[in-house]
Amino acid sequence: MPVFEVKDFWWKYRSFVGVENPYTLKGLSFTVEKGEFLGIIGPSGSGKTTLCYALTGIIPKVFTVPYGQEKEHIKGEIKLFGQTLTKLDKVKDEKTGNMVDKVVGMKQTAPRVGLLLQDPENQFLRMDLLHEISFGMELLGLSEGEIESRAKEALELVGLGPLWPIADLVHPSELSGGQKQRAAIASFIALRPEILILDEPTSNLDPEGKLGIIQAIDNIKKEYDITIILVEHNPEVIQKYADKVLAINDGQAIAYGTTEQVYSQCKLFDENGLYSSDIARIGWKAGLSYNGRVPFTVDEMLKSFDGRKQKSLASNLEDDPIDQSSQEIISVKDLNFSYEDGTQALRGVTFSIRQGECVGLIGQNGAGKSTVSKIISGLYKKFQGEAKVNGMDLRDPKVVQKIPCYVGYVFQNPDNQIFMRKVYDEVAYGLKNLKTPQQEVDQRVKEALKSVGLLSKIDEDPMFLGKGEKRRLTVASILAMNPKIMIVDEPTTGQDFRMSEDIMNLLEELNKAATTILAITHDMTLVSEHTKRVIVMHNGTVLYDGSTRGFFSNEELLDKADIIPPMAARFSLEYKKKNPSSPNLINVKEWVTALK
């Protein structure tokens, strides 16, 4: 018997602003068998989170339907363990005796079904790790001894075992995002669920955090044979672990089947803005085949490589990152910085960036990337060493005060940077702070909005923009201030494939127009495709400063930095082992060009 049966399920959120919402889920039908690993993929806004809520009964128990309007909001049925979880049914009204439409079904799915959300901060409900893990068990009324043994076991399973002796002393602020997510998984594992639903659990995490989560999921699947439903963008994860994949877009299923069946539909992925792996994209565009489909992994690619000759691109590839004659615009020497609690974030960091460069600043969490960027943008002031922007010394408080005129910083979370209730006012905010004349404000706001494709939304409320639109709005807000340098912090986190491409293309356009770009990111595919130079930080120092190609071609450096190169680069490294003379191709475009 399947654990989940979803039959022609439709859902529409209730409206609060007078405008009717469209259906978010449109006639979804699929089943999930016991012990299965189902991957759910789809672009942003396609309904993946809504589907997770529906599978846990949060819709319609928490997100309710207005009384008397049930028929307009919900259709179809969801069954859990053979029983109705959610269904619109005719029920006799106790007061009137008439048959009325009412949503019926199970009252609660916990503890049999667990749900892990995207943002680790919002799921950590207690003030210490021990009580966070034990919370669900306390609610179940288990004995103290049982709670203690399950909590310890759960922490071990997610790789947080060393924290057990001090679990009651560990405050949430002392845990990284990845650790918080693992703690949330542990809190569900301790409840011994039969199904665990994870909604993009790794999107806000660094690579180490992502790896930790995936490993934890794998451990619990092996240990308890739990049914896993994972919403994830990363195709490598889905291809490695999932038995079946459901691809949705605009609330509808566009593909459903095994990973092979779904991921071989490259054209469908391209049309719907879904992430397929570098290897699959190379295989599809270059016409390579493995067992009748595109290759998915590096091994499959190697086996499908029919030894066709590559064009001689070597002479074009090892190019100089930038014209050395351009002016130095950022310069840091022997930079040291410690936080208030004594943590030393930077140790003797030295590098310089020339005007017009597009540089990737990469490294593990805690390596010092954000710290050095915030010093350059004048947001952190108490540092030792030298830091100059456009020749101006950042040790001078007067210079720091004026730095926003030269350096624009786009933060990771757009929600933290939107201050106004109108798009126009939002973009104009920075300009008004700079005392720009009103006529010029008008002109620059419109130009900035046009360049990011948001001119039509000029009078809208930013709060009601979509995720990708908000991201573009924050870029426009900085763009309008005409900075010479733009620092973007994780520009593609939480974005789907199409949105990520849009943002990166926008940044490339800005770079061509002579804006210096410094991109802090964990996305190595993005780095390989859009930057020619990387600065790799490790433990507060600069481990490598040079060409992106040079870095992704050096296995020793990659190991030392704890960085996994993009799939295209990994394939190069493997291919070179048997063909040492082959060039170091590091992204999809280069491989496709080489193979045509």
Partner 1 sequence: MARDDVEARTSKKYVRTFIFSMKTGTPIEKLHVITKFFMIAAMSVLALYMFDIPVLKGDIPIVKGGPDIIGLIFLLTIVFVLLIISGTTKYLANSYLLLALPVPISEFIWWLFLNGGLPGAKEAFYLWPGFFPIGISTVVLVGIFGVVYYRTKSVVIAVIPAVLLWWLTIMAGAFDFSPLATWFKLSIGATYSFMLPSWSPYVALSKALGFAVLIYTSFLFLLTTRDTEIAGAMRQLGLSFKKAFFIALIFRSLNTLLIDYENIRIAQTARAAGVNRKNVFSKIIDLAYVSIPLVATMIRRSTEMGVALYARGFEASKKVTSFKETKGITYMDVTVIAILSIFLIYEVILGHTINHLFIR
Residues between 446 and 475 with contacts to partner 1, criterion CB under 8 A? 463
Dihedral angle, C-alpha 272, 273, 276, 277, nearest 10 °: 170
- Residue 123 CA from chain centroid, whole number: 17
Report, in Å, the least distance between residue 321 CB and partner 1.
Answer: 27
Residues between 157 and 176 with contacts to partner 1, criterion CB under 8 A: 162, 164-166, 168-169, 171-174
Run of H or E including 243: none
Closer CB to partner 1, 140 or 573, in the complex: 140
Closer CB to partner 1, 81 or 411, in the complex: 411
- Cβ count near 311 (within 10 Å): 11
Q: Which listed residue (86, 123, 277, 584) binds partner 1 by CB under 8 A?
A: 123
d(CA 112, CA 466): 33
Is 144 a binding residue for partner 1 by CB under 8 A? The answer is yes
Closer CB to partner 1, 77 or 199, in the complex: 199
Run of H or E including 333: strand 328-338
Annotate 100-112 with DSSP letters as a single string: EEEEE--S--TTT
Is 136 a binding residue for partner 1 by CB under 8 A? The answer is yes
Closer CB to partner 1, 93 or 174, in the complex: 174
Report, in Å, the least distance between residue 379 CB and partner 1.
Answer: 5
Q: Which listed residue (9, 30, 124, 497) binds partner 1 by CB under 8 A?
A: 124
Contact between 199 and 118 (Cβ < 8 Å): yes
Q: Which listed residue (25, 115, 282, 473) binds partner 1 by CB under 8 A?
A: 115
The site that binds partner 1 (CB under 8 A) totals a number of residues, namely 78
Closer CB to partner 1, 83 or 416, in the complex: 416
Site string for partner 1, 296-315 (x = CB under 8 A): --------------------
33-41, 259-267, 405-413, 513-521 -> range binding partner 1 (CB under 8 A): 405-413
11-19, 115-123, 271-279, 541-549 -> range binding partner 1 (CB under 8 A): 115-123
Report, in Å, the least distance between residue 313 CB and partner 1.
Answer: 40
- Cβ count near 302 (within 10 Å): 16
The DSSP call for residue 290 is B
Report, in Å, the least distance between residue 435 CB and partner 1.
Answer: 6
d(CA 445, CA 368): 33
Please name the residue that has the structure tokens 């006799």. Answer: 92
Pairing outcome for strands 74-80 and 4-11: antiparallel
Report, in Å, the least distance between residue 122 CB and partner 1.
Answer: 4
d(CA 203, CA 75): 31
What strand order describes the sheet that includes 485-489? 407-410, 485-489, 516-520, 358-362, 533-538, 541-547
End-to-end CA distance of the chain: 49
Q: Give the residue from 173, 145, 175 showing the smallest Cα distance to 159.
A: 175
Closer CB to partner 1, 173 or 581, in the complex: 173
Closer CB to partner 1, 170 or 561, in the complex: 170
Q: Which listed residue (137, 330, 445, 486) binds partner 1 by CB under 8 A?
A: 137
Closer CB to partner 1, 91 or 139, in the complex: 139
Closer CB to partner 1, 243 or 386, in the complex: 386
Closer CB to partner 1, 131 or 532, in the complex: 131
Q: Give the residue from 547, 534, 409, 381 showing the smallest Cα distance to 477.
A: 409
**Residue count of the chain:** 596
285-293, 431-439, 504-512, 576-584 -> range binding partner 1 (CB under 8 A): 431-439
Closer CB to partner 1, 309 or 435, in the complex: 435
Residues between 477 and 516 with contacts to partner 1, criterion CB under 8 A: 477-478, 481
Report, in Å, the least distance between residue 294 CB and partner 1.
Answer: 37
Report, in Å, the least distance between residue 381 CB and partner 1.
Answer: 11
- Residue 543 CA from chain centroid, whole number: 25
d(CA 228, CA 242): 9
Q: What does the radius of gyration of the chain's CA atoms come to, in whole angstroms?
A: 26
Distances, alpha carbon 118 to alpha carbons 231, 366, 383, 459, in Å: 10, 21, 34, 31
Q: Which listed residue (98, 416, 439, 581) binds partner 1 by CB under 8 A?
A: 416
d(CA 323, CA 354): 9
Is 419 a binding residue for partner 1 by CB under 8 A? The answer is yes
d(CA 530, CA 550): 15
Residues between 42 and 101 with contacts to partner 1, criterion CB under 8 A: 53, 56, 58, 61-62
Structure tokens given for 26: 């449109």
Is 556 a binding residue for partner 1 by CB under 8 A? The answer is no
d(CA 325, CA 327): 6
- Prior bond of 193 cis (ω within 30°): no
Structure tokens given for 229: 């439903």
Structure tokens given for 527: 């780095």
Strand partners, 5: 31, 79
Residues between 325 and 384 with contacts to partner 1, criterion CB under 8 A: 340-341, 374, 377-379
Q: Which listed residue (429, 497, 552, 571) binds partner 1 by CB under 8 A?
A: 429
Is 121 a binding residue for partner 1 by CB under 8 A? The answer is yes
Report, in Å, the least distance between residue 160 CB and partner 1.
Answer: 12
State the amino acid at position 13 in one-letter form. Answer: Y
Report, in Å, the least distance between residue 150 CB and partner 1.
Answer: 11
Closer CB to partner 1, 335 or 428, in the complex: 428
Residues between 184 and 243 with contacts to partner 1, criterion CB under 8 A: 187, 191
Report, in Å, the least distance between residue 593 CB and partner 1.
Answer: 38
Report, in Å, the least distance between residue 5 CB and partner 1.
Answer: 21
Closer CB to partner 1, 134 or 179, in the complex: 134
d(CA 556, CA 474): 38
